[in-house]
Amino acid sequence: MQLPAGRVRPGRIEHALGWPAALARYAGSFLYHLDDDRVYVGYIVGLDYQDPRLQPFEAFQQYKNHPSVKALLEGGEIVSAGARAIAARRLAVDADTGDAGASSSATRAGR
């Protein structure tokens, strides 16, 4: 996205978990400040979400209307857009030991 001059801080990286989806969901946002007054902005939702009311596109729209994000993006121009599927693993925490490690649904199921 191309923004008006002076809003971008090249090299700044912003990641957030959850909102507007619940924190228990595999979801979050990213905002990468690039050079030449450009940013990459996006919202990620795990494809295994259980809530049939969750609409990833609508969640992305809500994110872009958060006051701090909206103020940054206002007056900007979309240069390109797209959707991607991301192969991801989750961080699992063992409830008994507190140990953390990468996990997949197959690992959690004992397969």
pLDDT at site 15 = 94
How is residue 25 annotated by DSSP?
A: S
User: What are the extents of the domains in the chain?
Assistant: 13-83
**pLDDT digit string, tens, across residues 28-69:** 999 999 999 999 999 998 888 788 888 889 999 999 999 999
Instruction: Tell me whether residue 83 is exposed, middle or buried, using C-beta atoms within 10 angstroms of its C-beta: 0 to 12, 13 to 18, 19 or more.
Output: exposed
Q: What is the pTM of this model?
A: 0.73
Give the bridge partners for 49, in sequence order.
none
The Cα 43–Cα 59 span in angstroms is 8
